[in-house]
């Protein structure tokens, strides 16, 4: 399985997982000049920006460990763009992270949701 396919599959799974947990998905793969946010959703009143990370196995560390400070900065900037475009700058917001670990083809080992994963 190629990396892109793995990532897309992971995002689909994450979106389904979030819906099942009461999130309302507003956008997928929101893109602007600064970068991309995988999923934008509403958790009750709070606007949530979700980064999905997928790994084919756990041998090289957990997926969420790969969100470094630069990635956070990117996400933050894109989040501001989204808020600005939709007039939501004052809305309570949060950054969540979903990490999906596969064990071989199509075989999901674990899905983990980390709420309030980081702060700007």
Partner 1 sequence: MLAKIESRSVLGIESRKVDVEVDIAGGLPSFTIVGLADTAVKESRDRVISALKNSGFKFPPKRITINLAPADIRKEGASYDLAIALGILAANGELGQELAEGMVFCGELSLDGKLRPISGVLPIAMGLADSGIRGLVIPRGNSREAGLVSGLRVYAAACLRETVEFLRGNARIDTVSAEGPCADEAPLGTDIDFSDVKGQWHVKRGLEVAAAGGHNVLMIGPPGSGKTMLAQRLITILPALSAGEMLETTKIHSVSGLLSGGNHLVSRRPFRMPHHTVSYAGLVGGGSRLKPGEISLAHNGVLFLDELPEFRRDALEALRQPLEGGEVVISRAASSLKYPAKFMLVAAMNPCPCGYFTDPKKECHCTPPVIQRYLSKVSGPLLDRIDIHLEVPSLKYKELSGKSRGESSAAIRERVDAARTAQKQRYEGLSIYCNAHLGSKDTERFCCIDKEASELLKLAILELGLSARGYDKVLKIARTIADLAGSGTISAEHISEAINYRSLDRDLGF
- Interface residues toward partner 1, by CB under 8 A: 46, 76, 79-80, 83, 89-95, 116, 119-120
Rounded to the nearest whole angstrom, what is the least distance from the CB of residue 92 to partner 1 in the complex? Answer: 5
Rounded to the nearest whole angstrom, what is the least distance from the CB of residue 44 to partner 1 in the complex? Answer: 12
Rounded to the nearest whole angstrom, what is the least distance from the CB of residue 88 to partner 1 in the complex? Answer: 9
Q: Which is nearer to partner 1, 7 or 35 (CB)?
A: 35
For the record, the structure tokens of 1 come out as 């399985």
Q: Which is nearer to partner 1, 30 or 95 (CB)?
A: 95
Q: Which is nearer to partner 1, 82 or 102 (CB)?
A: 82
Bridge partners of 114, per DSSP, are 97
Could you tell me which of 6, 9, 27, 42 has the C-alpha nearest to residue 82?
A: 27
CB 11 within 8 A of CB 25: no
Rounded to the nearest whole angstrom, what is the least distance from the CB of residue 81 to partner 1 in the complex? Answer: 11
Is 53 exposed, middle or buried (CB count within 10 Å of its CB: 0-12, 13-18, 19+)?
buried
From the CA atom positions of the chain, what is the Rg in Å? 14
């Amino acid at each position: 399985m190629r990396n892109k396919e793995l990532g897309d599959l992971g995002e689909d799974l994450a979106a389904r997982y979030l819906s099942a947990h009461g999130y309302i998905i507003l956008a997928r793969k929101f893109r602007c000049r600064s970068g991309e946010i995988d999923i934008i959703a509403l958790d009750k009143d709070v606007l949530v920006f979700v980064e999905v990370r997928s790994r084919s196995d756990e041998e090289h560390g957990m997926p969420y460990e790969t969100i470094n400070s630069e990635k956070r900065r990117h996400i933050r900037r894109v989040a501001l763009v989204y808020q600005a475009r939709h007039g939501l700058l004052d809305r309570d917001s949060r950054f969540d992270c979903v990490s999906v670990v596969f064990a071989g083809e199509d075989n999901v080992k674990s899905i983990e949701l980390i709420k309030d994963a980081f702060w700007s």
